[in-house]
């Protein structure tokens, strides 16, 4: 015959009570034949989530107009603090209502560091970038979405942002000219 043992903690001082609900029906609680943690209303701890689970999501948006030459930043930022050091963070970036006279490129920045691979060609001036948003020349784009993933490496806060530039020295205008678009960053921590 199997036995049920309730073991106290030698160093704990609290009293835990198992209480029956107010009911008139006999019920049997069958314990699973495996080790684990009982799920409560507090939810599942991040440490118990299987690989591929979304541990948290952070969303930030901005509708301000931004213009400039070179790498234009300050469009929108979002901060996530990973639950697990070995998690993967996936960023989904939306750029809306932007205009330039040539192709538009994006670089993704985490805590001030460009995390895209270095391409080092003449188009980017040797700068580590980029995602080509493939803007048609002289056409105002309504929306463009791109993604980037990055392994967290720690449980320290990460501030994500992106910067935009063009393949020549002309200007780029974001949310131009009427501030009707919303630029956003969605960050998802994925268990691995």
Domains of the chain (ranges; CATH) run 50-190 (2.60.120.1340)
pLDDT band at 124 (very low <50, low <70, confident <90, very high): very low
CA 111 to CA 154: how far, in whole Å? 13
Q: What is the pLDDT of residues 54-67, one digit of tens each?
A: 999 999 999 888 88
**Exposure string over 9-25, b if 16+ CB within 10 A, otherwise e:** eeeeeeeeeeeeeeeee
Residue whose C-alpha is closest to residue 80's, from 63, 101, 57, 53: 57
Looking at per-residue confidence, does 94 or 169 come out higher? Answer: 94
CA distances from 82 to 11, 114, 155, 159 (A): 31, 19, 5, 11
Rounded to 5 degrees, φ, ψ at 20 are -80, 145
Q: What is the pLDDT of residues 138-179, one digit of tens each?
A: 556 667 888 888 998 899 999 999 888 877 777 888 877 666
Whole-structure pTM value? 0.72
């Amino acid at each position: 015959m199997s036995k049920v043992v309730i073991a106290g903690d030698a160093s704990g001082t609290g009293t835990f009570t198992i209480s029956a609900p107010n009911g008139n029906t006999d019920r049997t609680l069958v314990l699973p034949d495996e080790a684990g943690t009982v799920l409560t209303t507090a939810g599942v701890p991040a440490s118990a989530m299987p690989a591929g689970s979304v541990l948290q999501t952070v969303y930030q948006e901005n509708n301000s107009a931004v213009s400039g030459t070179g790498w234009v930043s300050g469009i929108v930022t979002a901060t996530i603090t990973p639950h697990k050091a070995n998690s993967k963070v996936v960023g989904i970036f939306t750029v809306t209502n932007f205009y330039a006279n040539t192709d538009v490129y994006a670089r993704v920045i985490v805590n001030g560091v460009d995390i895209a691979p270095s391409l080092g060609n003449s188009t980017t001036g040797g700068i580590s970038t980029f995602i080509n948003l493939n803007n048609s020349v002289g056409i105002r784009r309504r929306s463009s979405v791109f993604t980037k993933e990055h392994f967290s490496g720690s449980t320290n806060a990460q501030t994500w942002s992106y910067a935009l530039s063009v393949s020549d020295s002309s200007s780029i205008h974001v949310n131009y000219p009427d501030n009707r678009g919303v630029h956003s960053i969605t960050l998802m921590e994925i268990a691995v």
